[in-house]
């Protein structure tokens, strides 16, 4: 049976993962300061993105995400292992993104990946110290103009 502390840790980590998705989906890059440690390493290279520190990651997201008219990050099925003030998590992310097309045509890019996270408790709050994306799939669904 899980202890109250283990239950609390797992729920706090799940909430942290949802806060990440919310920050990205609402393009509120400074909210990522509450998700990651200041010295975090974030590696999006498996899906064609950047790899670097938090400042570089925020800059990358701010440049790239506005190019997509619509997108969502659904995070689920987290496998979390807590060991005191450190933890690891492997979380599925389903990320549909609308890609602008020519002459009003729309293309949907479907991205499936896992976030491989190393987390630490900092001043009583969980933060991601390292995130690496692991690719599952990426494909385009061509649409027609509306």
Alpha-carbon gap, residue 120 to 125, rounded angstroms: 8
CB 47 within 8 A of CB 111: yes
Output the pLDDT for position 103: 67
Q: pLDDT-derived band of residue 143, with 50, 70 and 90 as boundaries? A: confident
Question: Which residue would you say has higher pLDDT here, 105 or 49?
Answer: 49
The answer for residues whose C-beta is within 8 angstroms of residue 53's C-beta and 6 or more apart is: 39, 40, 41, 42
Question: Mean pLDDT across the chain, nearest whole number?
Answer: 95
* Portion of the chain with pLDDT greater than 70, in percent: 96
Q: Does residue 146 have a pLDDT over 80?
A: no
Q: Does residue 105 have a pLDDT over 90?
A: no
Per-residue pLDDT averaged across 30-56, rounded? 98
Output the pLDDT for position 144: 55
Output the pLDDT for position 145: 53
What pLDDT, in 10s, does the model give residues 44-89? 999 999 999 999 999 999 999 999 999 999 999 999 999 999 999 9
Alpha-carbon gap, residue 29 to 19, rounded angstroms: 11
Output the pLDDT for position 81: 97
Output the pLDDT for position 67: 93
CB 53 within 8 A of CB 39: yes
pTM metric for this prediction: 0.93
């Amino acid at each position: 049976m899980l202890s109250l502390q283990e239950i609390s840790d797992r729920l706090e980590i799940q909430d942290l993962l949802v806060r990440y998705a919310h920050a990205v989906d609402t393009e509120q890059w400074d909210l990522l300061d509450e998700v990651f440690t200041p010295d975090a390493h974030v590696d999006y290279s498996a899906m064609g993105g950047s790899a670097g520190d938090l400042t570089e990651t925020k800059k990358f997201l701010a440049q790239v995400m506005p190019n997509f008219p619509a997108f969502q990050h659904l995070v689920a099925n987290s496998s979390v292992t807590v060991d005191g003030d450190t933890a690891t998590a492997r979380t599925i992310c389903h990320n549909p993104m609308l890609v602008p097309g020519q002459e009003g045509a729309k293309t949907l890019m479907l991205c499936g990946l896992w976030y491989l996270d190393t987390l630490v408790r900092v001043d009583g709050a969980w933060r991601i110290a390292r995130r690496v994306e692991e690719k599952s799939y990426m494909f385009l669904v061509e649409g027609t103009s509306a």
